Amino acid sequence: MSIFVNVTIQPDQEFGRKLLVPAGIPTPHQTPVSFKVEGGTVELSGEVSTGQIAALISPDEGTPVTVSYAYADGGSGYPEPMFQPRLNRFTRAANELADDVRVLVDSSKDGHAAIEAIVNAVAEKFHYGHPEVRFNDGLDEVPYISCGLTEGSCVDINTYLIACLRAAGLEAGYVYGYFFPEEKNGTCVDGHCWVVTRHQGVVLEWDIAHHLKLGTREICCGLNPKPGHRVATAHSMGLSFPTLGIHETKLLGEPAWVASDGKLVSADLDIRCSIADEAVAA
């Protein structure tokens, strides 16, 4: 099975800005085999902490840009740099949070049990939503959530989860991409993220947000508790593209405009996918 993803970006309201677009990453399930751009000229830009390469697109004036990905079944696994701990304001746990995590680890029989305990403890702290103000906005570390339920999207939930796992000394990576729910017939409105752990060579994937959207806080490892298709575009948080003036931006999972101050600005996206097997069967 091959998955084809087309992302169309509407023209920018500010003339002269360029688009920064992730090129896709391999997973154990898929390999990005093609990346094409229509409506602009392309050069490459390197991220210095993870080695990821992104496309820097200069759009043709007044026309949309379309970025096309193709993914083939089967992959080499997640990129090794994804599991390397890099402390920044998006991954560094506050002391109180680290202390709380240590209690969970000390009460677990082994590392695998500790991972499961941490994942389920994080699920107990959030209800799914898209808050106007994120729980860690403006902070230099990931704070401890002591009680009650905090509203959070997949980005917020997995930020907290990564900080917890890294504070416990466990290997974990943050993955960003697109998820196309079965009921939306090959469309989605924005990106999606999930977390991958690795302990004693065992790689497990966790999607707390999808479990919460399905009404359960009993989290099992594995992807797609919701029916649909997903692809991975990038990994890790706190990314830097120094030649573009970008320093420790939270993430680059979907196309974004590069502002003159080095900040990434959301773009107007239309995101669609098609499945080769389904097209043949039809």
Q: What is the CATH number of the domain that holds 134?
A: 3.10.620.30
- Our measurement of the distance from residue 88's CA atom to the centroid of its chain's CA atoms, rounded to an integer in Å, reads 16
What pLDDT sits at residue 1? 82
Residues 50 and 106 in one domain: no
Q: What angle, 0 to 180 degrees and rounded to 10, lies between the N-to-C axes of helices 154-167 and 95-106?
A: 70
Residues 189 and 269 in one domain: no
Residues 223 and 245 in one domain: no
Q: Which domain does 166 fall in, by range?
A: 82-232
CA 16 to CA 257: how far, in whole Å? 10
Number of CB atoms found within 10 A of residue 57's CB:
21
**Strands of the 202-206 sheet, one edge to the other:** 202-206, 192-199, 171-181, 228-235
The length of the chain in residues reads 282
What pLDDT sits at residue 262? 96
Alpha-helix runs per DSSP H in the chain: 95-106, 111-123, 154-167, 208-213, 276-281
Residues 46 and 100 in one domain: no
Residues 92 and 221 in one domain: yes
Residues 98 and 200 in one domain: yes
Residues 119 and 239 in one domain: no
What pLDDT sits at residue 279? 44
Number of CB atoms found within 10 A of residue 225's CB:
17
Residues 9 and 123 in one domain: no
Residues 87 and 212 in one domain: yes
What pLDDT sits at residue 281? 31
* pLDDT in 10s for each residue of the chain, 282 residues: 899 999 999 999 888 999 999 999 999 999 999 999 999 999 999 999 999 999 999 999 999 999 999 999 999 999 999 999 999 999 999 999 999 999 999 999 999 999 999 999 999 999 999 999 999 999 999 999 998 999 999 999 999 999 999 999 999 999 999 999 999 999 999 999 999 999 999 999 999 999 999 999 999 999 877 889 999 999 999 999 999 999 999 999 999 999 999 999 999 999 999 998 754 332
Per the structure, how many domains does the chain have? 2
